[in-house]
């Protein structure tokens, strides 16, 4: 089921159902499917940025990425089963890819990080086929050659870690030229998989406090997180105070 949250579609699926849906995308020919893991920060910005909102409407699958989205859906009276974050979804798809032989391409993060992430994934799933990797610090004039490199590598799954919302804009702009069946943005996931950044402890994640843990690990994020109370206020105004 698809719900509408502050004007954006969100698929009310749990992790297992999301993975099943993506498996379905991979079995169909031709079309390139674009997945957005929607977090509060993106949804807040999309309220004031038509282009960002349009991208969410054009995505084939929109997952509730973060406690804030799960909470907002509950406030709106349209609860979603659980949060489906970019990194968790990626790490759920990798063993499936290893088993099914889906080729995986990692684009993004600082030079060397995508390779290290790929090596760590390969260590854990030796049958995983890495179709290619490329860092995320290419110049605008190199964009076409990156797109060609990906198309030539013929991956079935492309993970793009350029940060939000640049990765979503990039995917939307190039997806039809690359011919990749499933493409999704994964933010800082390669840094975590490569072991450059430690993920917030599971107990904090379970207490819905991943945002707090990230703030403690990466204090420079405080400016970005200022958006969270603004997002919460927007949700309360719309769904509780009905202003």
Q: Does 171 bind ligand UDP (CB under 6 A)?
A: no
> Pattern of binders to ligand UDP over 175-204, x per CB under 6 A?
------------xx-xx-------------
Q: Which residues pair with 133 in a beta bridge?
A: 106
Nearer of residues 92 and 225 to ligand UDP, judged by Cβ: 225
List C-alpha distances in Å: 163 to 184, 204, 237, 242: 12, 23, 29, 33
Residue 3 Cβ vs ligand UDP, minimum distance, rounded to whole Å: 22
Residue 135 has which token pair?
């860092």
CA 180, CA 22: separation in Å to the nearest integer? 13
Q: Does 162 bind ligand UDP (CB under 6 A)?
A: yes
> Where in 60-99 is the site for ligand UDP (CB under 6 A)?
none
Cα–Cα–Cα angle for 230, 1, 161, nearest 5°? Answer: 55
Nearer of residues 191 and 210 to ligand UDP, judged by Cβ: 191
Count CB atoms within 10 A of the CB of residue 14. 15
Kindly report each contact of residues 147-155 with a partner whose C-beta sits within 8 Å and lies 24 or more positions away, as own/partner: 147/174, 147/177, 147/178, 150/105, 150/107, 150/178, 150/180, 151/177, 151/178, 151/179, 151/180, 153/103, 153/105, 154/103, 154/179, 155/102, 155/103, 155/104, 155/105, 155/131, 155/180
Nearer of residues 40 and 108 to ligand UDP, judged by Cβ: 108
Residue 199 Cβ vs ligand UDP, minimum distance, rounded to whole Å: 11
User: CB nearest ligand UDP: which residue?
Assistant: 136
Nearer of residues 43 and 76 to ligand UDP, judged by Cβ: 43
> Where in 98-137 is the site for ligand UDP (CB under 6 A)?
108-110, 136-137
Q: Does 40 bind ligand UDP (CB under 6 A)?
A: no
Nearer of residues 113 and 182 to ligand UDP, judged by Cβ: 113
Q: Residue numbers of the site for ligand UDP (CB under 6 A)?
A: 108-110, 136-137, 161-164, 187-188, 190-191
């Amino acid at each position: 089921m698809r719900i509408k949250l502050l004007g954006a579609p969100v698929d009310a699926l749990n992790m297992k159902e999301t993975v099943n849906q993506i498996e379905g995308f991979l079995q169909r020919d031709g079309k390139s499917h674009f997945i957005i893991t929607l977090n509060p920060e993106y949804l807040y910005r999309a309220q004031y940025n038509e282009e960002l909102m349009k991208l969410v409407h054009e995505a084939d699958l929109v997952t509730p990425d973060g406690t804030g989205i799960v909470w907002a859906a509950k406030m709106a009276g349209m609860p979603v089963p659980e949060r489906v974050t970019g990194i968790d979804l990626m790490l759920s798809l990798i063993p499936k890819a290893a088993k099914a032989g889906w080729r995986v391409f990692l684009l993004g993060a600082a030079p060397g990080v995508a390779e290290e992430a790929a090596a760590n994934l390969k260590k854990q799933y030796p049958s995983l086929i890495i179709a290619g990797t490329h860092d995320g610090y290419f110049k605008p004039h190199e964009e076409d050659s990156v797109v060609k490199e990906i198309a030539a590598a013929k991956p079935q799954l492309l993970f793009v870690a350029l940060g939000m919302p640049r990765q979503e804009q990039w995917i939307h702009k190039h997806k039809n030229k690359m011919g990749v069946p499933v493409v999704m943005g994964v933010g800082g996931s390669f840094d975590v998989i490569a072991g450059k950044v430690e993920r917030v402890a599971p107990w904090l994640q379970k207490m819905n406090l991943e945002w707090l843990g990230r703030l403690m690990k990466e204090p420079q994020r405080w400016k970005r997180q200022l958006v969270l109370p603004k997002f919460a206020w927007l949700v309360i105004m719309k769904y509780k105070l009905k202003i």
